[in-house]
Amino acid sequence: MNRVVSWILAVLTALMAFFGYGGEERCPMPEQFTMEGKTIALTYTPQLGLLDIAVGGETWSWKKPPSLEGDGGICYPFSLAKCLGCREESTPEETGVYADYTHFGTAFGPYYGMVIHTFAGVAAGTDDVLFRVWVENEPNQSYKISFPAAFAFGAQKGHGFTVLPLSQGALIPARLDASMKLEGAKIFSREAYMPVFGQVRDGTGYAAIFETPYDARYSVEHKKGGDTTVTPLFDLSLGKFAYTRSMIYRFFAGGGWNTVAQRYRRYLEEKGALKTLGDKIAENPAVAYLAGAPVLHTYIAWDIAEESSYYNRENPAANHVCVPFAQREAELEALKAAGIDKLYIHLDGWGVHGYDNNHPDPFPVNEQAGGAAGMKSLADKAAELGYVFGIHDNYRDFYYKADSFTFDKCIVNAVGSHPYETTWYGGKQSILCARFAPAYVKKNYDTFEQLGIRLGGSYLDVFSIADLDECFSPAHPMTREECAVERRACFADLTARGIIPSSEEVFDCMLPAISLCHHAPYYCWTWTSDAWKKCVFVPFFNLVYHDCVVTPWFVNGDAKGSGSFGMPEGDWMFLHAILNGGTTYVYETNSPRHLELAGIVLELHRRVALEEMVSHEFVGGDMRHQKTVFGDGTAVEVNFDTNEWSIAYPDGTSLSGR
């Protein structure tokens, strides 16, 4: 039906041009091009927006033509624009077709004079389909471009699924009985930890990789009991299209969701962009400590501003809390006595006004808790016990009460204003332009060294989960990609000092720079709609990156999952921890059951932390009965319905329980 509609629209356009509508010249007759990859064959008709790809006995076709999405969501299909011409070109690297389009909308509209250039082709000797798009004569108007177009899926129930980078990862089984919609989800957000998605139908499919991910989005629409459509979109950068955007679709036959992950991992390896924990240990030997080490997330103080969303008006005394550094020392000694031999400490609220306050100027160290001397004593005690002492820090939130606050260093929005919010404990704040962040990091960590406070780790808050910022300031303009570069520079400063760099979650673009995150859970947060919670959650991210970052998973004894942990409701969280081969958290006080389960998680992590997750499967086709295998041969099997689990190590030892 979509193909018929495209032909009808093309015929109407040609007739309008033939009869001189709008003063157009007659459009050339549509040209059809054929190209071949290693095992695939392409048929492409640019003027009509038609593309067919034959692979493994199946054909994947564009569902509708590529388009320009203008202000107000108005869609201008390429098939209704004027095609300026098409030409096929071959080089030793690729064969493809260039096609150029103009006259989008009416002659009086803002997009009429712009020219969109495109390329669609095949990389030599591969089944990689290449897409590029760039623009001339840009209007002074907002827009997005959907090129390539979405592929029609069409799989029947039980015959396929869509693979999405929603947080840790999710599958939408074909014909799922739920309606889902995701409009313009940003790459590098909780909706897309990684710049890749895929679809699989009867064993054939593709991994769609954004080669230029920083100004990219994707939309998903799944109709209840119907089809699933995934549409890539390219956004503007500082108000302009600015540079050539590109995607690779890696087609395959005889694969599944593991194949989508593997295709992306191979892509990263080819580009030299995959940095494993082994690589990070070679650069910073301190990172090796993390294998099999639990994380203690603790705090010193908070002082919640009255304008903060967290301010407790019913009990004002609760807004001001302070725990002496000396008390935390005693708790570390108790944990050591309880048999916890390794520990990574994450300490919040050590600064002048405690947690989420005064950044990026947290000094002096909180005096009420014991000041710099007390913090140094705590750090020294951690080292004496064989623990790693790490802190929470922040170089994005720019609090009005910070010593160096000035609007001159704040992000400037497209309309000339500055971001403003009062959500967090420190109250009134803007956002620091990341251009200035590395200098603040250097200043503050030089101060730690001058105070003799030995840091083993540092968590730079939100850098791996908050939106990559754009700054429109004429004095310090910054693109999203440049923001990522500046954030990575902050982590690089820590690494150069022998400090383990960590952050909140796991944006793909931050992973080369961090070794530890707070968590990387599933897309089932408290704010996630019930429909999206019907996805099948899988370790898609870990199939790519398990051996590149240490990820703690909440266990909390026999606790069941909930949205506050980003866990499927009712699932035993311990099972997700071992299935994913991660580490876990311990607390100031721990039940015997928690320590028992944590011990199992930590021994597994000690063995597989540096191993690739090579496969994930549904045992016997049961989506509640899952198995992962790691690079050393370790196999983990869990059943979320019966709570049975087993771990089989390559040395012949095994564990099981329920």
Digit-coded pLDDT (tens) for 55-104:
999 999 999 999 999 988 899 999 999 999 999 999 999 999 999 999 99
| 14, pLDDT greater than 60 | no
Mark whether 176 and 312 lie in a shared domain. no
CA atoms within 13 A on the CB side of 182: 27
Mark whether 504 and 552 lie in a shared domain. no
From the number of C-beta atoms within 10 Å of its C-beta (0-12, 13-18, 19+), residue 595 rates as middle
Look up residue 656 and give its amino acid: S
Distance between CA atoms of 457 and 390, rounded to whole angstroms? Answer: 4
Range of the domain at 638: 519-658
pLDDT at position 564? 74
Mark whether 584 and 469 lie in a shared domain. no
Report yes or no on 14 lying in a domain.
yes
Nearest to 99 by CA among 127, 65, 142: 65
Report yes or no on 146 lying in a domain.
no
Mark whether 423 and 503 lie in a shared domain. yes
Calculate Rg over the CA atoms of the chain: 27
Mark whether 585 and 639 lie in a shared domain. yes
Residue 485 DSSP code: H
Helix ranges (H only) for 131-179 are none
Q: Which residues face 135 on adjacent strands? A: 116
Task: State the DSSP H helix or E strand holding residue 429, giving kind and residue range, or none if neither.
Answer: strand 429-431
| 15, pLDDT greater than 60 | no
- Across 454-482, average pLDDT: 98
Cβ contacts of 47 within 8 Å, gap of 6 or more? 10, 27, 28, 30, 31, 79, 83, 86, 99
Which two structure tokens, joined as six digits, stand for 13? 């356009």
Mark whether 443 and 378 lie in a shared domain. yes
Mark whether 105 and 162 lie in a shared domain. no
Cβ contacts of 268 within 8 Å, gap of 6 or more? 274, 544
Nearest to 500 by CA among 284, 348, 274: 284
pLDDT in tens, 331-385: 999 999 999 999 999 999 999 999 999 999 999 999 999 999 999 999 999 999 9
Q: Which of 492, 510, 528 is the last residue of a domain?
A: 510
Number of structural domains (the chain) is: 4
Mark whether 343 and 441 lie in a shared domain. yes
From the number of C-beta atoms within 10 Å of its C-beta (0-12, 13-18, 19+), residue 474 rates as exposed
Mark whether 94 and 205 lie in a shared domain. no
Mark whether 355 and 227 lie in a shared domain. no
Look up residue 75 and give its amino acid: C
Mark whether 564 and 617 lie in a shared domain. yes
Q: What is the mean pLDDT of the chain?
A: 95
Mark whether 526 and 411 lie in a shared domain. no
- Across 446-456, average pLDDT: 98
Distance between CA atoms of 16 and 11, rounded to whole angstroms? Answer: 9
